Chain A
Amino acid sequence: MTISASLKKRLKYFNVDISFSCAEENMLVMIGPSGGGKTTIIRMLAGLTMPDEGRILFGDEVWFDAASRINLEPQKRRLGYVFQDYTLFPHLNLFENAAFAASDKKEVGELFELFKIGHLKKRKPHMVSGGERQRCAICQALARHPRLLLLDEPFSALDVITRRGLREELKSLKGSLSCPIIYVTHDINEALFLADEIMPVVEGKNDDGWMQRTISRQSEEGSPTRGAREPRLALVY
């Protein structure tokens, strides 16, 4: 199934006006500066924010259509959404969190093993590290057999080492998932590492030149000290 969307929404400082699609087994990475409307776009896909105009189609299922006033509830879209920061339920332990909406509890155990958090099942979210919480959030999203996976800067609050590890795990997981994946980040390395397709979003619009401009600006600015200032960039280039 392919997700395709064309969305318009007026925001306070700019308007979102964007069209894109993402096929199954494909990862579309949405990249751009913070505050550029990426999260708003993801929220519109999830049904948490209503676009002013446009349509969202999943295969031949209409999720949103402004013209015919269709707006499918988030509950019925059956998607996985890993939020920017930890939104695990604080009253449940990690296993209960991941099994919250799972159809098959046994599978949750397998996912926990896959993400190496099997020994933390009984811990509450505040008792584990940020990386472990995000691993659990991914398990929670996958346990529901999502038809579409949305990842909104899932690793941005983590330290570099943890982040790199998780990034690699996600990349290897990607092959075994058949749904379309949309991944939001402001980190160019992450985008280059993970993406099948990259869509730069600046002030709510697709801006294909953004990556090029950003990379050349960075290399102009500090040639000898770049490695020290941006160690992750130096690792890639």
Chain B
Amino acid sequence: MDYLALYVTLKLALITTILLMIIAAPVAYLLAYYRFPGKSLLEALVYLPMALPPTVIGFYLIIVMSPKGFVGRIWETFTGGSLLFTFLGITIASIIYSIPFAVQPMKAAFSKIDRRLLEASYVLGLSKRATFLRVIIPNSLSGIAAAAVLVFLHSIGAFGVLLMVGGSIPGETKVASIAIYEAVETMNYSAAGMIALSFIPISYAFLLLINRLNEDSRT
């Protein structure tokens, strides 16, 4: 069994989840609490990766990350290397691919918090930032956890985006879903079956966790 591919998948999903939680929290805060011109445009842009075919996202990421692309060029001047076909490249791809799944549940959790709690916190002398950390975050933990689980599950399932941006380099960019695809291509059904089977308990356990979190947030 291709343990290396499974390892890359889990590493990628874990790093994506952690980074995305940090990136998505301020975006969700902005969308939940502020009104500003162009907000609906920004919101639609944040959710766009959910509505686009993964290969379309992958295509544009190749354009941007290639040595001639905007991000790729900057990266090359500073590091001398390429972003395409690297673990970092697929991490960026994976983050963009999963952004909507992090922002949406977090925004929902933040909007559910009673505005008066925030006002009480301001009157008690806490800055907006301190209020975010001491009032908003602790009162939306189940929403944040749900977002994390969704992002994790979505990341382990990524295929098209990663294949386009990262190719299939063992130990670097070859994730489990790509390993399954390649095993099937070479008619190696038993290898594909082993990896595929390992996904079922992982996904099932996480789904149970989501249900549990949803129940918690309802009570």
- Residues in A lying within 8 Å of B, measured CB to CB: 46-48, 73-81, 83, 85, 87, 89-91, 100-101, 140, 144
Contact = CB atoms under 8 A, between A and B. Distances in A.
B138 A144 contact: no
Contacts of A100: 121, 124, 134
17 contacts: A47-B122, A47-B123, A75-B122, A75-B125, A75-B126, A77-B123, A78-B125, A79-B123, A80-B123, A85-B116, A87-B114, A87-B119, A89-B117, A89-B120, A89-B135, A100-B134, A144-B124
B139 interface: yes
Contacts of B114: 87
Contacts of A90: 117, 139
B127 interface: yes
B139 A101 contact: no
Q: Which of B117, B123, B125 has the most CB of A within 10 A?
A: B123
A74 B116 CA distance: 13
Interface residues of B, number: 16
A89 B139 contact: yes
Nearest to A73: B122
B123 A74 contact: yes
B119 A48 contact: yes
B138 A91 contact: yes
A101 to B, nearest CB: 4
Given A48-B123, A87-B117, 11 more contacts: A47-B122, A48-B119, A74-B122, A78-B125, A81-B120, A89-B117, A90-B117, A91-B139, A101-B126, A140-B124, A144-B125
Nearest to A80: B123
A91 B117 CA distance: 11
**List of 8 A-B pairs having minimum Cβ-Cβ separation, nearest first:** A101-B124, A87-B120, A74-B122, A91-B138, A81-B123, A87-B116, A74-B123, A75-B125
B131 to A, nearest CB: 9
A193 to B, nearest CB: 26
Nearest to B116: A87
Nearest to B141: A91
Contacts of B119: 48, 74, 87
A154 B40 CA distance: 39
Contacts of A80: 123
B104 to A, nearest CB: 23
A89 B119 CA distance: 11
A27 to B, nearest CB: 19
Given A46-B123, A74-B123, A75-B126, A83 B116 contact: yes
Contacts of A76: 125
B114 to A, nearest CB: 7
Interface string B107-133: 000000010110111111111000000
Contacts of B117: 87, 89-90
Contact of A83 (B120, B122, B135): B120
A48 B121 CA distance: 11
Contacts of B135: 89
A4 B11 CA distance: 61
B124 A48 contact: no
